[in-house]
Amino acid sequence: MANVMRNFFLFLSKNKFLTRSAKKYGLRFGAARFVAGETIEQAAAVIRDLNGKGLKATIDYLGEFVDNKKEADQMADNCINAIEAIGREKLDSQISLKLTSMGMDISDDIVMANMKRIMEAAKENHVFVTIDMEDYERCEKTLQIFKQLRLEYDNIGTVIQAYLFRTLQDMKDLDEYAPSLRLVKGAYKESSEVAFPDKADVDENYKKIIQMHLLHGHYTAVATHDDAIIEFTKQFVKDNNISNDQFEFQMLYGIRPERQLELAKEGYTMRVYVPYGTDWYGYFMRRLAERPANVSFVLKGLLKK
């Protein structure tokens, strides 16, 4: 049943009519639990509150699968606006972005021009940038663009998904770049030809890449809400005398906030992924797909209205 619900919400996440309707009607239907508002000012207020509680943040201006230069340039402008807000307001925050929103599906020239603009603004404001990973067909190109930018900028990282068969080889190929990586299980629906279909196999691969990246001495963001993975990481760093400065935990805004505070109080770096913007629908549907408990949160919120 859980798998049926997951597939249902992933299917809805790609519906263009519903995406347009969501932009029109705003953050209703429970999405405000997971999205920090539609403007940078609203998102900044959320981040200030998180910082006050001892939590760090990474901010994401929502948007993906842009198909024209004008919109891609506007998305890049919004990212730069967020970077400047982080610098101006001295927020303890990084920024995350998707290359499809910067024009990757349109042309190499457009995406690279936008990324260079963003990276220069980030460098000037001392803000770290993480390139989010998207679906499998865009994985290789995302990694190639990351490698190209990493040669020029220190303040950039990307994401590796544990559910893909190619992941271990990708980790080996990236090693020479001494990358800062966010390690995740993976949230897209992928074919069993390219991804592990069973959760147990995904979890096992996740543990492997956490171990590999930490032992190679690279900065590691373990992005998970899974207590078993969190406890595994804690024990592994303890057993291998790895400093808390070499890794952090990451969770999504609105999911397990009490656990986030617990980890921060235990002395671990805890970073919250804070999305904002009007193009929130696809992100919201994937959050519902990931955890059935999220659906019950939304239904409870609707019943209160």
Catalytic positions:
132, 182
**Which tokens go with 84?**
């400047």
Write the secondary structure of 241-284 as one string of H (helix), E (strand) and C (coil).
CCCHHHEEEEEECCCCHHHHHHHHHCCCCEEEEEEECCCCHHHH
Q: Which run of H or E residues covers position 61? A: strand 56-61
- In terms of Cα–Cα distance, which of 32, 131, 44, 26 is closest to 81? 44
The beta strands (E) that lie in 136-264 are given as 156-161, 181-184, 220-223, 247-252
Burial class, 161, CB count within 10 angstroms (exposed 0-12 / middle 13-18 / buried 19+)? buried
**Which tokens go with 98?**
């998707």
